[in-house]
A and B are shown apart, each in its own frame.
Chain A
Amino acid sequence: MDWTEILIDAATASIGPVAAAYALAAIGLNLQFGYSGLLNFGQAGFMLVGGYGAAITVEHGGSFWLGILVGIAASVVLGLILGGPTLRLRADYLAIVTISAAEILRLIVRSGWAEPLTNGVFGIQGFANPFFDLNPLATAGRYGWGDFTFQGRQLWVMIVGWSLVGLATLLLWKLIASPWGRAIRAIREDEDAARALGKNVFGYKLQSLILGGALGGAAGMLLAVEQQNIVSDSFLPQLTFFLYVIVILGGAGTILGPIFGAIVFRFLFQFFDGFMAQSQAEGWYGDLLDATDAQQIKLVLVGAGLMALMVFRPQGAFGNREELLIDDN
């Protein structure tokens, strides 16, 4: 068992490009769920339309930069379509509609008849060249200390990704500290009270859904750019639930929570991945577990680890315990 390798791999994953993309999508979800109380169970769908919007545009002759605009626009439109009819209704309608829409979108992009546009199950590759052309680092070079290193192209995605995370965090911080932020928190507490005071609850909820969804769209693009490859199965429903784990782990309704949550989640995920792979290869489990089983046990261990963290700190890393204990009305 090479513990150093396991730990270094986990540390690498915790700040890698995927962690940045997860953090960005989680910031959007935190705005929706943590601050506005919206149950968006389809953040994976927002990421999908963002990523596919960009990839399809490039694949069909548009520039990469136009692709980015299309990706963002697609996630905004998705927010309008999903939020428009549901946000006037009870909270659970949004949950049902978002989770189904995300799955429907995924099944559509991988279906045969969408193939001319999406290339079906094989997905779209190599659309982000203009992004990597801007990379000031040596593409194949390795940067870091000792065994803890990143490839030049990976580091370039990380720099851009974490900068986006930083910008989104600043934006959220400014918004949440503003009267607009107070309004969405108030609506989370009680919609009718807000209406009775003359506030347009529907408008606020729609804005929050769209803004959070656009951050999800940006995150989906970041994932696709990093891989130079977009396939429908990167946007399974479990992706949304990973993001919920990240938000809750860091503390729902806190500014830094999603960043912290994404780092810890990616660390745990990679740690148990390495641990199970190595222990299985060394024959710890005899014939009991094959390599595929070991990967599945990994998810169980990640879940157990997360539960332990939540028992230890139910309000999440940055959450406020006093706030958690408030029993409304």
Chain B
Amino acid sequence: MTTNTIAAEPGVAKPDPILVVDGLQRTFGGLHAVDVDHLEIQRNTITSLIGPNGAGKTTLFNLLTGFDEVDAGTFSLNGESLVGVPSYRVARRGMVRTFQLTKSLGRLTVLENMMFGAPDNPGESLSGAMFRRWRSAEADIEARSRELLERFGMDHMSSEYAGSLSGGQRKLLEMARSLMVEPDIVMLDEPMAGVNPVLTQSLLEHIKALRDDGRTVVFVEHDMDVVQEISDWVIVLAEGQVIAEGRPEQIASNPIVIDAYLGTQSNG
């Protein structure tokens, strides 16, 4: 999907948006953590969400995925409103997120982490576990899990406890696990933070592969080189507001963006 025809303006309409946000507000005390007039995410692209620390990126993710409640505003996925929808139902509708602070299931093995991600498992309900035949579905899920683990180069650790992995490996596992849900759109909150350069490169390849699979990726990243390399589109958030949008090369030379970053740096 090309983004060449889209104007580089905050809140610009996109040809085929998967996610549409309107008038979204979230305040903590007097602080406007998120204050987004209008925002669209183009389907089947990699969109980077950048902005200084405290800009509201994580809060925006929390709101969109049902982990926090909006004070005002609407947002919809594939044309259906998500306001007030609990987080687990957001995931079932096709939007899955990862967390800035990794949430690996420490005392489950890597393989169990993966298998837990699978949706519609007949043995996962109490009555299903007791009365239904779930083993063949479970075998399919295991096969799919192992396939993904192999793709992520983690197949050799499938029987290790997730809690014994390094920080970078946990990030990788969390991302792989989110793919078990087969989401339309993946929201990755700083997937490269704390990951060593070799792993970073392979993570980038995985993110590109997601787009090639037809999925949409939104991810938070600080490293501008990384953003330049893989993004189709960049959204810049500062003090809760979208201050700029555009293709990576447009953002790199945008004086407002440079100002926002330098501004917060000089303010500490």
Give A residues with C-beta under 8 Å from B: 174-175, 178-183, 185-186, 188-190, 192-201, 207, 211, 322-323, 326-329
The residues of A that contact B216 with a CB separation of less than 8 Å are none
Q: List 12 A-B contacts (CB under 8 A).
A: A174-B129, A178-B123, A179-B123, A180-B128, A185-B108, A186-B112, A189-B108, A193-B103, A195-B88, A199-B124, A201-B88, A326-B106
- Cα–Cα distance between A328 and B91 once the two chains are bound (Å): 24
- Cα–Cα distance between A299 and B230 once the two chains are bound (Å): 66
- Cα–Cα distance between A327 and B107 once the two chains are bound (Å): 9
Establish whether residues A195 and B91, one from each chain, have CB atoms under 8 Å apart when the complex forms: yes
Of B67, B101, B102, B116, the residue contacting A195 (CB under 8 A) is B67
Establish whether residues A178 and B134, one from each chain, have CB atoms under 8 Å apart when the complex forms: yes
Establish whether residues B67 and A186, one from each chain, have CB atoms under 8 Å apart when the complex forms: no
The residues of A that contact B65 with a CB separation of less than 8 Å are 196
- Mark contacts of B84-96 with chain A using CB atoms, 8 A cut-off: 1 yes-contact digit, 0 otherwise: 0011110110001
The residues of A that contact B66 with a CB separation of less than 8 Å are 195
Q: Which of B71-86 contact A (CB under 8 A)?
A: 86
- Cα–Cα distance between A201 and B103 once the two chains are bound (Å): 15
Interface centre among A179, A190, A322, A328 (most CB of B within 10 A): A179
Closest Cβ–Cβ distance, residue A80 to chain B (whole Å): 15
Establish whether residues A182 and B88, one from each chain, have CB atoms under 8 Å apart when the complex forms: no
**Is B163 part of the binding interface, using a Cβ–Cβ cutoff of 8 Å?**
yes
Establish whether residues B129 and A175, one from each chain, have CB atoms under 8 Å apart when the complex forms: yes
Of A188, A201, A326, the residue contacting B164 (CB under 8 A) is A326
- Cα–Cα distance between A284 and B201 once the two chains are bound (Å): 75
- Cα–Cα distance between A189 and B161 once the two chains are bound (Å): 12
Of A179, A198, A328, the residue contacting B134 (CB under 8 A) is A179
Of B96, B123, B128, the residue contacting A198 (CB under 8 A) is B96
Establish whether residues B88 and A199, one from each chain, have CB atoms under 8 Å apart when the complex forms: yes
Residue of B nearest to A192 (CB): B103
Closest Cβ–Cβ distance, residue B165 to chain A (whole Å): 10
**Is B254 part of the binding interface, using a Cβ–Cβ cutoff of 8 Å?**
no
Establish whether residues A323 and B116, one from each chain, have CB atoms under 8 Å apart when the complex forms: no
Establish whether residues B101 and A329, one from each chain, have CB atoms under 8 Å apart when the complex forms: yes
Of B91, B97, B105, B126, the residue contacting A186 (CB under 8 A) is B105
Establish whether residues B106 and A189, one from each chain, have CB atoms under 8 Å apart when the complex forms: yes
**Is B152 part of the binding interface, using a Cβ–Cβ cutoff of 8 Å?**
no
Establish whether residues A207 and B178, one from each chain, have CB atoms under 8 Å apart when the complex forms: no
Closest Cβ–Cβ distance, residue B23 to chain A (whole Å): 25
Residue of B nearest to A198 (CB): B91
Establish whether residues A186 and B101, one from each chain, have CB atoms under 8 Å apart when the complex forms: no
**7 shortest interchain CB distances as A-B pairs:** A326-B163, A198-B91, A178-B129, A180-B129, A179-B123, A193-B103, A189-B105
Known: A185-B108, A186-B105. A197 touches B164 (CB 8 A): no
Of A196, A211, A323, A327, the residue contacting B97 (CB under 8 A) is A196
Establish whether residues B67 and A192, one from each chain, have CB atoms under 8 Å apart when the complex forms: yes
Establish whether residues B88 and A198, one from each chain, have CB atoms under 8 Å apart when the complex forms: yes
Of B112, B123, B163, the residue contacting A327 (CB under 8 A) is B163
Establish whether residues A328 and B181, one from each chain, have CB atoms under 8 Å apart when the complex forms: no
Q: Which of the four size classes fits the interface of chain B? A: 35 or more
- Cα–Cα distance between A207 and B124 once the two chains are bound (Å): 12
Of B104, B107, B128, B164, the residue contacting A185 (CB under 8 A) is B107
- Cα–Cα distance between A185 and B134 once the two chains are bound (Å): 18
The residues of B that contact A179 with a CB separation of less than 8 Å are 115, 121-124, 128-129, 134, 138
Of B87, B124, B125, B130, the residue contacting A196 (CB under 8 A) is B87
The residues of A that contact B214 with a CB separation of less than 8 Å are none
The residues of A that contact B126 with a CB separation of less than 8 Å are 175, 180, 207, 211
Q: Which of B13-53 contact A (CB under 8 A)?
A: none
Establish whether residues B123 and A326, one from each chain, have CB atoms under 8 Å apart when the complex forms: no
Residue of B nearest to A208 (CB): B126
Of B88, B113, B163, the residue contacting A328 (CB under 8 A) is B163
Closest Cβ–Cβ distance, residue A83 to chain B (whole Å): 14
- Cα–Cα distance between A211 and B121 once the two chains are bound (Å): 21
Establish whether residues A196 and B96, one from each chain, have CB atoms under 8 Å apart when the complex forms: yes
**Is B153 part of the binding interface, using a Cβ–Cβ cutoff of 8 Å?**
no
The residues of A that contact B161 with a CB separation of less than 8 Å are 322-323, 326
The residues of B that contact A192 with a CB separation of less than 8 Å are 67, 87, 99, 103
**Is B247 part of the binding interface, using a Cβ–Cβ cutoff of 8 Å?**
no
Q: A182-B112, A196-B178, A328-B163 are in contact. List 7 more A-B contacts (CB 8 A).
A: A179-B122, A179-B129, A188-B107, A189-B104, A193-B99, A198-B91, A329-B106
The residues of B that contact A327 with a CB separation of less than 8 Å are 106, 163
- Cα–Cα distance between A178 and B87 once the two chains are bound (Å): 24
Closest Cβ–Cβ distance, residue B103 to chain A (whole Å): 4
Establish whether residues B116 and A197, one from each chain, have CB atoms under 8 Å apart when the complex forms: yes
Establish whether residues B107 and A196, one from each chain, have CB atoms under 8 Å apart when the complex forms: no
The residues of A that contact B231 with a CB separation of less than 8 Å are none
Residue of B nearest to A187 (CB): B105
**Is B119 part of the binding interface, using a Cβ–Cβ cutoff of 8 Å?**
yes
**Is B177 part of the binding interface, using a Cβ–Cβ cutoff of 8 Å?**
yes
Known: A180-B124, A326-B107, A329-B104. A197 touches B130 (CB 8 A): no
Residue of B nearest to A326 (CB): B163
Establish whether residues A182 and B115, one from each chain, have CB atoms under 8 Å apart when the complex forms: yes
Establish whether residues A186 and B129, one from each chain, have CB atoms under 8 Å apart when the complex forms: no
- Cα–Cα distance between A48 and B161 once the two chains are bound (Å): 39
- Cα–Cα distance between A327 and B163 once the two chains are bound (Å): 7
Residue of A nearest to B98 (CB): A196
Of A174, A175, A186, A326, the residue contacting B116 (CB under 8 A) is A186
Establish whether residues A174 and B130, one from each chain, have CB atoms under 8 Å apart when the complex forms: yes
